[in-house]
Structure 1
Amino acid sequence: MRQIQVWLDEGEVEKARLEALDQLQHEEKSAVLNYLCAFSHDAQGMEREAIPFYEKAIEQGIQGDRRTQAYIQLGSSLRCTGKYQEAREVLEKGAREFPGNPAIQVFHAMALYNLEQSPEAVKQLLAVLGSHADSPWIKKYRKAICFYAGHLDQTW
């Protein structure tokens, strides 16, 4: 598994993908191998192929940052393939497990947008920007952004 990660880090994604697929034949219940296989597919624009591997990695108990990334990347892959409701559900599950993770929130907002829930999506994005962005400009307007996130339909 270490070599697969090295290849991914070096940009040798196809080598990593082929090795992960090969190793999965012997260790199909490895959460880490399923994650690495998913990631290597995803990195090559093979989102549809990546989806079942992300699902297995989560089901098999992938841990740490990879678990968070699996939720984000699975949700993103589902959204990219037009499975908007499934993406929303995955990202909401990820958000329950990792509350406050801004990346999950941003991808969730994208799924909401695709589900034609733009006001909620914009509200969520503004909340993320207002709470998590490190830009000096965002810091300067953080209080206003957070306030407007809860009052998008209100006029004065």
Structure 2
Amino acid sequence: MEESMESVIHKADAFMKNGNEQACLALLSNLCVQVPGNSDAWLKYALALDHFSKEEEAIPVYRKSMEIGLDYESERTALICLASSYRNIGQLDLATETIVRTLKKYPDNIAAECFYSLILADAGRSRKAVQLLGRALLKSLEPAAFEGFKGALDFKFSALTE
């Protein structure tokens, strides 16, 4: 490869920031052909597809990046984004399955919980969505932010049932 992977990714990022979808995606697609065993290249390509609202194309690319093998944090990102992409194309069962798997592997991950709440809301489970989102909020903020209402809010969010 004539250019380093980092250089290609840097150029692709610049194209993405400037809204040059075609150039960005072409660079990253070619990079994946040049280094087919590099999971980070595949993940970067999937994220770019997602950025340009090409979720249906991004899904198999996310799956490929995970199949090759990602590090812990990159896999978390790929799983959350995969679930979100499934949600965005209306595949709520696959979105739910993916985000539940994500939460089992990355328990108490606030971002995953937030995406799960969006999936639940889209699935018509708004009470459960509010419960999950509210409890995530309570876990992530300092108790002082609630001005003495944290216990009451926790009780109320916990009491929400479908």
TM-score between both structures, scaled by the size of structure 2: 0.83
Q: Is the 8 A contact 1:51 1:74 kept in 2?
A: yes
Q: Is the 8 A contact 2:12 2:27 kept in 1?
A: no
Query: Are 1:6 and 2:14 counterparts?
Result: no
Counterpart code for 1:39: L
Q: What is the match of residue 120 of structure 1? A: 128
Q: What is the match of residue 67 of structure 2? A: 59
How far the C-alpha of 1:89 sits from its partner, in A, is 0.6
Counterpart code for 2:137: L
Q: What is the match of residue 157 of structure 2? A: 149
Deviates more, 1:82-91 or 1:60-69: 60-69
Where structure 1 has 5 or more consecutive residues not aligned to the other structure, the ranges are none
Q: Pairwise mapping of residues 56-95 of structure 1 onto structure 2 (< 5 A)?
A: 56-95=64-103
Q: Is the 8 A contact 1:23 1:33 kept in 2?
A: yes
How far the C-alpha of 1:61 sits from its partner, in A, is 1.5
The Cα offsets for residues 73-95 of structure 1, whole Å up to 9 and x where unpaired, read as 11111101101110111111111
How far the C-alpha of 1:4 sits from its partner, in A, is 4.0
Q: Is the 8 A contact 2:13 2:24 kept in 1?
A: no
Separation (CA, whole Å) in 1 of partners of 2:108 and 2:12: 28
Q: What is the match of residue 32 of structure 2? A: 24
Secondary structure of 1:62's counterpart equals: coil
TM-score between both structures, scaled by the size of structure 1: 0.86
Separation (CA, whole Å) in 1 of partners of 2:13 and 2:31: 18
Separation (CA, whole Å) in 1 of partners of 2:93 and 2:49: 22
Query: Are 1:101 and 2:105 counterparts?
Result: no
Separation (CA, whole Å) in 2 of partners of 1:4 and 1:134: 41
Structure 1 residues 139, 78: CA separation in 2 closer, same or farther (over 3 Å shift)?
farther
Deviates more, 1:103-112 or 1:8-17: 8-17
Separation (CA, whole Å) in 1 of partners of 2:98 and 2:147: 30
State the identity %. Answer: 24
The structure number with the bigger radius of gyration is: 2
Q: Provide the aligned C-alpha RMSD in A.
A: 2.2
